[in-house]
Chains A and B, each alone.
Chain A
Amino acid sequence: MEKILLRNIDAPDSHTLAGHRSRGGYRALEKVLREMTPEKLIDEVKASGLRGRGGAGFPTGMKWGFVPKDNPKPKYVVCNADESEPGTFKDRLLIEKDPHAIVEGTIIAAYAIRSHTAFIYIRGEMFYGAQVLERAIDEAAAAGYLGKNILGSGYDIDLILHRGAGAYICGEETGLLSSLEGGKGWPKLKPPFPATHGLFGSPTVVNNVETLAALPWIIEQGAARYAAIGTEKSKGTKLFSVSGHIKKPGVYEVDMGYPFKKFLEEDCGGVANGRKLKGVIPGGASMPVLRAEELDGITMDYESFQAAGTLLGSGGVIVMDESTCMVRAAWNIARFFAHESCGQCSPCREGCHWMEKIFNRIEHGAGRAGDLEMILSISGNIGGNTICPFGDAASWPAAAFIKKFRSEFDEHIAAGKCTIH
């Protein structure tokens, strides 16, 4: 499998400027400044087929193309380093081990939309990661990759590191922008979209850490090489974070299209402690869980996961073996969403906590007939009716756990306790 994103991280000096440069770092930026207009750059990224790696999978080149070129307002690029999707820890790896790839990628993205001010919004809890990034930014500035007239190109670019303060919703594009503007992380109504009305009402592009970190390689090696990897609709490689009941948890870089079951059983070593696989969440806690029996034929790409009734999302793979109580797992996730709901709109504000209360009651032995239908109904009433995708993210797992493990839920309710342990 191709190593693009993780090609540098094994070296002990991978996070330093010197280390980055010794492995070809900033050559891509030099190439962009030397040979490419923003339009050509956007076309190249479009041709690569790169899709947003935060969870939504929106084609990156197309997103850049939405920014109006002749808008007089300043334009902004924001690197979304607010990684908070449960089961996901790939951005943290890149931040701590290859910060310069992120810096370089951010500058390239800024150039594409003619932005002169870029931000990296990093979640507040990643204090160490923020230190590493701050040092990398300082090094880059000292070396002339940031500031006025970088590398003599005539292009100015400022990069500001900004720490969040503990809110999952700030990983949502417009929630991030509200937070960056100095307020609560309340998502904004769309339309208008950030491409035309983003940070401070100006055209803004928000890209995930992994998306930006892929850019230097794509520029250097060419879009065609990137597009040669993967499937028809899912190009290139993706970082998957694997955790839970698995022998070898960690971050894996996988060619899109790789067989999922093979990945879990071979590359990740299979289920730990000799137990049997029960279920897998493939794309972070927001994504519908898959039963072990459903994995055959699924490949690790956007289309295949979607066809299987779930989504690739952030690629946070959470493995659950037969010792897992699915009721408790569902409650855990419902509790997460209830805790993280920003509270702005009524279906999410009231519905997430309602679902949590019911799951809580079932888990602790006080489940009643009709509870599961109630959760399914609430889930259906939240989804599609909210300001931002958080509502969908909260409603899908609730419904999926019940649908996929219905008999376990029924037994748990009937017995008044967990029937797995």
Chain B
Amino acid sequence: MDPVKITLDGKEITTEKGKTVIQAAADAGIDIPHYCYHPKLTIAGNCRMCLVEIEKMPKLQIACNTQATEGMAVKTQSPKVLEARRAVMEFLLINHPLDCPICDQAGECWLQDYYMKHDLTPSRFDERKEHERKREIFGPYVVFDGERCIKCTRCVRFFQEVTHTDELTVVNRGDHSTIALFPGQTLDNPLSVNVVDICPVGALTDRDFRFKVRVWYLKKTPSICPGCSTGCNISVETYQNRIARFKPRVNEAVNSHWLCDEGRYVFHSLTEGERLTSPMIRQEGGLVPVDWDTALQAVAAGLAANAPAAAILSGRSTNEEAFLFGRMMKKISPEAKQEVFYRERELTEVEKVLMSPDRSPNFRGARHMGVGSEAGVEPLLQAIIEGRLRSAYIVGEDLVSLSEDGENLKSALGKLSFLVVQDIRMTPTAALAHVVLPATHFGEKAGTYTNRRGRVQKLEAAIVPPAGALQDWEIFSRLLGESYAAPEEIFAVAAREVPAYAGLDYEKIGALGADLEAQKQ
């Protein structure tokens, strides 16, 4: 690192050669207001909001395009700078529509925020505002409002530089400049909704989230996306105990600033629908609700009496759940074949920017925790279809619906002497079970996932499960005859028993995760 010392509002800061003033300031915790600058995109320098005063330079300079040089003295609060900021704010607002009451961006809008922080002067514009296209559907998830747009070109640059798909461009000239899709094209690449995140205003908004809830009502919980084994860091944002949306969290070691569309909306398919709220046992005429003790006794007895068993754990189970599940199955049914659900699929070039070719976010962690073998889950499913197993314990995957050979698997599962299904909804697989156990989904779990690259990351519970359901780890620990206060305690035990995780705890994992490889050193 080649250190460079500058002063920022009189305070001395040490930064690196090659960093711009805006980066140096950000590193020192000082936010110089900006719109078009984004740390992962090329410099556009068009919003002019980051103008600062630099000693010995007669004109104000944009902080995003000025290299920090030794001895540079920067002022971000001088009268000239404050005046320039107000001027830029005024220019951006003169044609801006009075949409706040109906705009989804309200509450997280940079025009609102900067106006409150850096402007607060009444509008002097008294002419007719320019009008532009509103509510233009760009793609399945993105809608565009040309009047709200401030032409910062972040969206254009994202599609040029991150996905290399080049869908958007700026057309026309002067104050008729606007963002456009080529006629007939759609914005449907797999990372399209990231531009909604990076759009500082309500010009690009999320169709799925549209008009659902005001952002200041959202409770925000940091967690990990359950979509695939990339393990993108997310913020699960909820309202009245329901997940309203995912937003990415920045983690340069995993997903940088991004989130794929599939992951972003995966909470719909993973959490919606009527929940199971009571354990059930099959009797004459169908499944009937029972209490937990009855159900768990039936599980233990049924598995013991019907060896050999197949034990298939969801790819979305946490490390803590996998750790307990593995030991629990060994105790109840020692010859049981245990696998974690994992299936690969083809990815397009754009998908490969972020996504992993699976839908099992914790397949790797589960393997570390002792569940599963090199053979994988497919041979085990085949064995079930061929009738070589007598019982099964399936956790969190609707195998009948997921299987290409659904009919055969369904009939094979139906022929098992004993089937336990632990899930959140009455799926077609659960409908075949002898015992059904109501559990939780990722949004209700605290725990850890280990991603494809061997990074251990924390989930936190964003919402509360329905009454009657139990956490998966609680079910496994009861079957094991052990007792834990919380997943953190389970992790502590696992860390002692699984060498790769030695020395790790929730604090070390922190908000951004811990790399197992780095742990070794």
Contact = CB atoms under 8 A, between A and B. Distances in A.
B45 A349 contact: no
A278 to B, nearest CB: 29
Interface in B467-504: none
A307 interface: no
Given A346-B48, A350-B175, A374 B124 contact: yes
Contacts of A361: 127
A342 B174 contact: yes
Contacts of A385: 48, 51, 60, 84, 87-88
A365 interface: no
A357 B47 CA distance: 22
A338 B175 contact: yes
Interface stretch (B91-99, B249-257, B323-331): B91-99
Nearest to A189: B45
Interface string A335-367: 000111111111101111110011001000000
A358 B127 contact: yes
B469 to A, nearest CB: 52
A352 B47 CA distance: 15
28 contacts: A167-B173, A189-B45, A189-B62, A189-B65, A338-B175, A339-B174, A343-B173, A343-B174, A343-B177, A346-B47, A346-B151, A347-B48, A347-B88, A347-B91, A349-B174, A349-B175, A350-B92, A350-B94, A353-B175, A354-B94, A354-B125, A361-B127, A384-B59, A384-B60, A385-B60, A386-B48, A387-B45, A387-B48
A370 B170 CA distance: 35
Interface string B99-131: 000000000000000000000000011111010
A350 B45 contact: no
User: Which of A189, A361, A385 neighbours the largest number of chain B CB atoms within 10 Å of its CB?
Assistant: A385
B170 A343 contact: yes
Which 3 pairs across A and B sit closest by C-beta, in order of nearness? A343-B177, A381-B87, A350-B91
Contact of A346 (B43, B124, B150, B172): B150
B199 to A, nearest CB: 16
B351 interface: no
Interface string A365-403: 000100000100100010011110000000000000000
Contacts of A341: 173-175
B251 to A, nearest CB: 30
A342 B173 contact: yes
Given A189-B62, A350-B92, 13 more contacts: A184-B170, A338-B175, A342-B174, A343-B170, A344-B46, A346-B48, A346-B49, A346-B92, A347-B48, A350-B91, A350-B175, A368-B126, A387-B48
Interface in B330-351: none
Contacts of B128: 357
Contacts of A189: 43, 45, 62, 65
Contacts of A354: 91, 94, 125, 127
Interface in B174-211: 174-177
Contacts of B130: 353
Contact of B95 (A350, A358, A368, A381): A350
Contacts of A386: 48
B132 interface: no
A140 to B, nearest CB: 35
Contacts of A346: 46-49, 88, 91-92, 150-151
A170 to B, nearest CB: 11
B90 interface: yes
Interface in A179-226: 184, 189, 191
Interface in A301-356: 338-347, 349-354
A352 B172 CA distance: 16
A340 B177 CA distance: 12
A90 B399 CA distance: 80
Contacts of B45: 189, 345, 387
A85 B91 CA distance: 26
Nearest to A337: B174
A184 B170 CA distance: 9
A356 to B, nearest CB: 9
Contacts of A384: 59-60
Nearest to B93: A350
User: Which of A189, A340, A350, A385 neighbours the largest number of chain B CB atoms within 10 Å of its CB?
Assistant: A350
Interface in B25-58: 43, 45-49, 51
A349 B151 contact: yes
A374 B126 CA distance: 10
A342 B125 CA distance: 22
A353 B174 contact: yes
Contact of B177 (A191, A338, A347, A349): A349
Contact of B91 (A184, A340, A368, A381): A381
A108 to B, nearest CB: 34
A387 B46 contact: yes
Contacts of A377: 124
